[in-house]
A and B are shown apart, each in its own frame.
Chain A
């Protein structure tokens, strides 16, 4: 047994005095507490706190592994603004997010409402819908590459419906919608569980009262259930937006950013610059841009969706 220094506590002179703690922690108590926090604190300082600050600072340098590093001020950001690849990656990321977040939330909401009651099979359906969430996007990407291939199930189905057939992944206009579908498939089960948890807490009286007052199913949903779900929807929107902004894994496997960069996302740009061209300073500048975007969108969502929180 590892005995921590300072852990041998003397028996209190009077029983009961230990229970009423003094305002200020004793040096010994603080010492032991710090020992408990220390391992995590060190890890956090070295691998999270330090890198977060360094990651921003690197954006203002021309750091490359093994090379000389110098302070370049706003040079990286100026380059970023002039880089058409950055703007195209930003556009892809924003369009992808703008499509996948609402669609996935809609699917989450629909499935949450459908599986909300305790009927036979409700649990099974929930488990099925959550399965993609635990599945790696690399594996999903491999399968969906086949699904979207020319002559594959998706192109056949689209052809039968009179919609654009052929490989969506090879079409620069349809590649992002195809990726959005994969993202919805993989994420909606998560939002569904969050919304279900919240739905359980909606007081039955509210909906029963609305029913007695002759409210239609739509009215009950719109004016009773939906307002109650607002905080949960806000939460899901934030999480899903963050996840979508960082889309990378499935693009890496399914398209490699193509065709002609039409599915090249911001994190892909960061990865390429940092770990293919080893331009870590420029990659950090892309990271800073991603950070700023995340904050801005979180603030906008807070002001619009989160008003009544």
Chain B
């Protein structure tokens, strides 16, 4: 069902053949061009991947000075840094915090944004246009302007160093509502009308008609909301001040300020990177299509 009803420009991945009559230009791939292209791409890929390689290799070094370029060899190999960073430092606790922060936010953003998006796309109510445009206008205001009052509100409500204080403000994601509205608006009205004529309640229509139909946008948006929260830094830095409330990003930054040895710092980084890397491997399609079809910020 989700494959038959896809709004324009939201389904076709960048790599698949575009619509008829807009065949991409293939050109003449001369040998010189192919060799040059391959060389440039390989150079680009090496430069892009080098920091990841260094991160992994250096994290498996025993503590102590190893000078470059010898340090880039896989030996001497040691898991000492991992033992220390997981045992003595709170990295696992921080990972738990990051998971809570990311997963709860994904669920909350998707729920509230899809409900609001549905109403904005398919319903009429007073003040609709004004509300919607004020959501969009707020996207212009830099996050840092709203961050200070938001922090004051949260600290007045004793939300500093709590999960809810960290999570709740991030649920007001106007971009998510905007994307939801765009997607739902392109679904035919008849689908909802039929259910309504059958006597379904509005909530029922939302749960059993709207949600299944918007699976593609839920997946795309979900992946990005997860990514934003997993990598978020400034807000968790401000709200999660105690050692136990740090996330992976703020925790690793704090380790770095304690002048922890490089191998431990990088072991922590690898631990923080693996989940998002796995998510990227599995959900690559959603990451890449999300950017190319919605322009959503990476």
Chain A residues with a Cβ under 8 A of chain B = 1-4, 7-9, 11-12, 15, 18-19, 21, 25, 29-34, 36-37, 39-41, 43-44, 46-52, 54-56, 58, 63, 65, 110-111, 114-119, 121-123, 125-140, 142-147, 151-153, 156, 185, 189-190, 193-194, 196-197, 199-204, 206-208, 211, 235, 239, 242-243, 245-246, 248-249, 252-253, 267, 270-271, 274-275, 280, 283-284, 287-288, 290-291, 294-295, 298
A119 / chain B contacts, CB cutoff of 8 Å: 29, 34
A204 / chain B contacts, CB cutoff of 8 Å: 22-26
Are A39 and B115 in contact, CB atoms less than 8 angstroms apart? yes
Chain B residues with a Cβ under 8 A of chain A = 14-15, 18, 21-27, 29, 34, 37, 40-41, 44-45, 47-52, 54-55, 58, 67-69, 111-113, 115-116, 118-120, 123-126, 128, 131, 134-135, 138, 140-153, 155, 168-169, 171-172, 174, 177, 193, 196-197, 199, 201-204, 206-207, 227, 230-231, 233-234, 237-238, 248-250, 252-253, 256, 262, 265-266, 269, 272-273, 276-277, 280, 284, 287-288, 291-293, 295, 297-298
Partner of A34, one of B50, B125, B193: B125
Query: Closest chain A residue to B53 by CB distance?
Result: A143
Q: How far is the CA of A130 from the CA of B284 in the complex (A)?
A: 10
Partner of B145, one of A52, A125, A136, A275: A52
A39 / chain B contacts, CB cutoff of 8 Å: 111-112, 115-116
Are A128 and B197 in contact, CB atoms less than 8 angstroms apart? no
Query: Closest chain B residue to A22 by CB distance?
Result: B124
Partner of A48, one of B119, B138, B199, B297: B138
| Tally of A-B Cβ pairs under 8 angstroms | 325
Are A197 and B135 in contact, CB atoms less than 8 angstroms apart? no
Q: Do A12 and B41 form a contact, CB below 8 Å, given A39-B115, A246-B144?
A: no
Q: How far is the CA of A175 from the CA of B293 in the complex (A)?
A: 36
Are B40 and A30 in contact, CB atoms less than 8 angstroms apart? no
A140 / chain B contacts, CB cutoff of 8 Å: 51
Q: How far is the CA of A37 from the CA of B151 in the complex (A)?
A: 24
Are A125 and B291 in contact, CB atoms less than 8 angstroms apart? no
A43 / chain B contacts, CB cutoff of 8 Å: 112, 168-169, 171-172
9 shortest interchain CB distances as A-B pairs:
A197-B292, A33-B123, A51-B149, A7-B201, A54-B149, A25-B124, A51-B146, A40-B116, A36-B119
Are A143 and B14 in contact, CB atoms less than 8 angstroms apart? no
Partner of B293, one of A44, A136, A197: A197
Closest beta carbon of chain B to A197's beta carbon, Å:
4
